[in-house]
Amino acid sequence: MRFSIALAATSLLALTEARIVGISVPKTIKPGEDFEAIIISENYIQSVYDVAIAFGYSPGKGFPGSLGQVADSFYLGPDESNQLHNFNKTINIPTDATKGEGLVTASLFSLYGAAKAPTLSNYNVSVTFGDETSTEYKASNEYTPSQ
């Protein structure tokens, strides 16, 4: 009996799926300096194939639903999809970025479920572009998912 319960639990763990739900970046970022962007993941009910993520930035409040200036982009693919843990990507905001209040943005292209339904999810974090990169991080709010 105990063996069958353990086997059933192990089978369910093998079916665990996850999706990316946001980003987290330092509250203050020094333009021209590398920093780690954290890609945030959570448990989900179906498989998600995360194709790619692009990071951007803009001064002030930016424009809703837009990436702004492109900072970097990454192919994710099967190795970084359905991972029930956060992971990092190193990005850099160019030295000519306007100092002051701004946004770090990300746009994620994913394929959901057995039908591989395409989805574009956008995230942004209000930050300060300043003279040094802080160790304190701030997480995003999703603002324009489409499916």
pLDDT at 147: 40
pLDDT at 7: 47
Q: Left if phi > 0, otherwise alpha if psi is -120 to 50, otherwise beta: which for 68? A: left
How many angstroms separate the CA atoms of 78 and 26, rounded? 27
Q: What is the pTM of this model?
A: 0.85
pLDDT at 65: 85
* Alpha helix stretches (DSSP H) within the chain: 2-14
Q: Which 3 state secondary structure label does DSSP give 80?
A: helix
Q: Left if phi > 0, otherwise alpha if psi is -120 to 50, otherwise beta: which for 80? A: alpha
89-132: pLDDT as tens digits: 999 999 999 999 999 999 999 999 999 999 999 999 999 999 99
Domains of the chain with bracketed CATH: 2-142 (2.60.40.10)
Phi, psi of 7 (to 5 degrees): -65, -40
32-55: pLDDT as tens digits: 999 999 999 999 999 999 999 999
Is the pLDDT assigned to residue 11 strictly greater than 50? no
Structure tokens at 31: 């333009």
Q: Which 3 state secondary structure label does DSSP give 93?
A: coil
Is the pLDDT assigned to residue 145 strictly greater than 50? no
